[in-house]
């Protein structure tokens, strides 16, 4: 069990994989906590284990050893279906490569998690989410008809539309030019503050990390600080 103020808790997370050279340790004994409503950045050089840590915290991958709690539910004690159900109820995602379905319009992409959750008035909610990211005129456009910044706005709308308790963003501006990336990051922080969502942001941008309450620095799979 965890403190009720902690939305995300990781204890002694270790991830090892086998390779032709032998066993590799991707993450080594990582422990951290993020409180409800906080923003936390995960930073470090390429290959430090940032995306692996995010995948473990989100239950997209399983640690070799260690535990993850989302609130008072132990994510690492659940099977794959259980983890998927918990993510569907409480977690949103924004990825560097957008992860939009090319055969669906912007509106249909945002509708998808609502339909999976079986919520009421899903079309109205999806339209409002796209309106909040400035895409009222792009509802029926397909991803191929959108710019990179517009695609990420759709992805942000999709992430927030289910009103998640926790939002994971993995290098959300990595595929965008600097000016567009800055606008997208501002939008992300504005929406996050308005929704009072807990945000875990993997980023290489110092300015973005400095906007967060906590900054966790990884190097060679080990956590260098407590994030305070």
pLDDT, tens digit only, all 228 positions of the chain: 445 689 999 999 999 999 888 999 999 999 999 999 999 999 999 889 999 999 999 999 999 999 999 999 999 999 999 998 888 888 999 988 889 999 999 999 999 988 777 776 788 999 999 999 999 999 999 999 999 999 999 999 999 998 999 999 999 988 888 899 999 999 999 999 999 999 999 998 889 999 999 999 999 999 998 766
Q: Where are the domains of the chain?
A: 36-60+89-223
Q: Are 74 and 67 a contacting pair, CB within 8 Å?
A: yes
DSSP for residue 74 = E
Cα(202)–Cα(214) distance, integer angstroms: 12
pLDDT at position 12 is: 96
Dihedral over Cα of 133, 170, 9, 209: its sign: negative
Residue 152 DSSP symbol: H
**Those residues with Cβ within 8 angstroms of residue 194's Cβ, 6 or more apart along the chain or in another chain:** none
| 146-177: pLDDT as tens digits | 999 999 999 999 999 989 999 999 999 888 88
Q: How many CB atoms lie within 10 A of CB 56?
A: 25
In three-state secondary structure terms, 189 is helix
Non-local (6+) Cβ contacts of 133 within 8 A are 153, 154, 156, 157, 187, 191
User: What are the backbone angles phi and psi of residue 14, rounded to the nearest 5°?
Assistant: -130, 135
**Domain 36-60+89-223 of CATH type 3.30.2350.10:** no
Residue 82 half-sphere exposure toward CB, CA atoms < 13 A: 9
pLDDT of residue 4: 64
Give Cβ neighbours of residue 16 (< 8 Å, ≥ 6 apart): 23, 24, 25, 26, 64
- Please say whether the beta carbons of 199 and 192 come within 8 A: yes
């Amino acid at each position: 069990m965890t403190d009720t103020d902690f939305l995300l808790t990781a204890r002694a997370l270790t991830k090892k994989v086998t390779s032709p050279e032998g066993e590799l340790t991707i993450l080594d004994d990582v422990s951290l906590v993020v409180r409800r409503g906080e923003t936390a950045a995960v930073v470090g050089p390429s290959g430090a284990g940032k995306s692996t840590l995010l995948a473990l915290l989100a239950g997209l991958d399983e640690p070799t050893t260690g535990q993850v709690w989302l609130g008072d539910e132990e994510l690492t004690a659940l099977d794959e279906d259980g983890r998927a159900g918990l993510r569907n109820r409480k977690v949103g995602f924004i990825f560097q490569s957008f992860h939009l379905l090319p055969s669906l319009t912007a509106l249909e992409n945002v509708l998808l998690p609502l339909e999976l959750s079986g919520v009421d008035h899903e079309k109205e909610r999806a339209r409002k989410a796209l309106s909040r990211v400035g895409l009222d005129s792009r509802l029926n456009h397909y991803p191929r008809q959108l710019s990179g910044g517009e695609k990420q706005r759709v992805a942000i709308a999709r992430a927030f539309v289910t009103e998640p308790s926790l939002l994971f963003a993995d290098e959300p501006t990595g595929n965008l030019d600097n000016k567009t990336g800055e606008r997208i990051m501002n939008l992300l922080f504005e929406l996050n503050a308005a929704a009072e969502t807990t945000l875990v942001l993997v980023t290489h941008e110092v300015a973005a990390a400095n906007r967060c309450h906590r900054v966790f620095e990884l190097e060679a799979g080990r956590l260098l600080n407590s994030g305070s």
